[in-house]
Structure 1
Amino acid sequence: MGDQLTHIDAKGNAQMVDVTDKAVTQREARATATVSMQPETLSMIVKGEHKKGDVLTVARIAGIQAAKKCADLIPLCHPLMLSSIKVELSPVPEENCVRIEAVCKLAGQTGVEMEALTAASVAALTIYDMCKAVDKGMVIGDVRLLEKLGGRSGHWQAVP
């Protein structure tokens, strides 16, 4: 934890990190989020009975779109040319939730952790938005980075 905050300059001002001299490397990040809900809500999603349409497909598309828009949402993120975005949504009936996993990749000078986290978060928010009329008590949680690969800091993985 001894690393300095890279988005703050010597005077304490916010700044976008200068990556000009960093090497282009393959980078990848995996993030997750969970949406917990009533069993009836999950059943409706799984059976495709929601009047607004296919909740999981819409959430997947929203997550992909969000990763591409990350720099528009988070002020100090670099706009990136992502080479791959995957968003998987898995209903878990025994836990009454949908687990979301987002993976973003690129060959570039900066990491894709924020893009993966944004994809997972927005996919979760989309599930909430589509289902809030039938289940206002849904809980979005467990939003976190699972793994990152590439760059100067190399491979990092969350402790299970």
Structure 2
Amino acid sequence: MAKLTHLNERGEANMVDVSEKAVTTRTAQAEAFIKMSPQAYQLLEQGSHKKGDVLAIARIAGIQGAKKCSDLIPLCHPLMLSKVQLDFELQAEQCQVRIVSFCKLAAQTGVEMEALTAASVAALTIYDMCKAVDKNMQIEGLRVLAKAGGKSGNWQV
């Protein structure tokens, strides 16, 4: 059986020591989807939700989420992100928004968790801002799309 990296010899939680790893440029991209009613989607598309510009606020929330990842996920390393980007693709036929996050830094560990956190926090923010119109929205499909850098190299779906 492979050794678990987040447990020490006594089975206790353990933050992985990355101090011996090389500093490399690392990137990660993640996505999530939020499906909503036609009415909520139309208001979002028109920028007419009562709480304001939903996508502008979701973008800021996603960036903040990525920056706070180590505060939210136990044993994640606090990282000095050099870039966090959130893009939104309105998909009218499905009444949904595709959220794509991108994180980048030069460090000794990857940024997949930060990219996932950015996409999920952006989706949660959209839900919060649109819930007065549609309480049945669904957040789906959260996943890493690609990563680059580090010892394990590049990967994408």
TM-score band by shorter chain is over 0.9
Question: Match for 1:37: what amino acid?
Answer: M
Q: Is the 8 A contact 2:33 2:97 kept in 1?
A: yes
What's the offset of the Cα at 1:10?
A: 2.4
What's the offset of the Cα at 1:140?
A: 0.3
Question: Match for 2:11: what amino acid?
Answer: G
Deviations 1:109-140 (A, max 9, x none): 00000000000000000000011111000000
What's the offset of the Cα at 1:67?
A: 0.4
TM-score between the two structures when normalised by the length of structure 1: 0.95
Question: Match for 1:70: what amino acid?
Answer: C
Matches within 5 A, 1:73-152: 73-152=72-151
Indicate how the Cα distance of structure 1 residues 155 and 3 shifts in structure 2: closer, same or farther if over 3 A, else same. Answer: farther
Deviations 1:64-120 (A, max 9, x none): 010001111112111100000000111100111000000000000000000000000
Aligned residues: 157
Task: Measure, in 2, the Cα distance between the counterparts of 1:3 and 1:93.
Answer: 45
Question: Match for 1:15: what amino acid?
Answer: N
Indicate how the Cα distance of structure 1 residues 147 and 3 shifts in structure 2: closer, same or farther if over 3 A, else same. Answer: farther
Q: Is the 8 A contact 2:24 2:106 kept in 1?
A: yes
Task: Measure, in 2, the Cα distance between the counterparts of 1:104 and 1:5.
Answer: 26
Mark the runs of 5 or more structure 2 residues left unpaired by the alignment.
none
Q: Is the 8 A contact 2:39 2:133 kept in 1?
A: no
Mark the runs of 5 or more structure 1 residues left unpaired by the alignment.
none
What's the offset of the Cα at 1:3?
A: 5.2
Runs of 4+ aligned residues of structure 1 deviating over 4 Å after TM superposition are none
Aligned-pair identity in percent equals 62
Q: Is the 8 A contact 2:83 2:103 kept in 1?
A: yes
What is the RMSD of the two structures over their aligned residues, measured on CA atoms?
A: 1.0
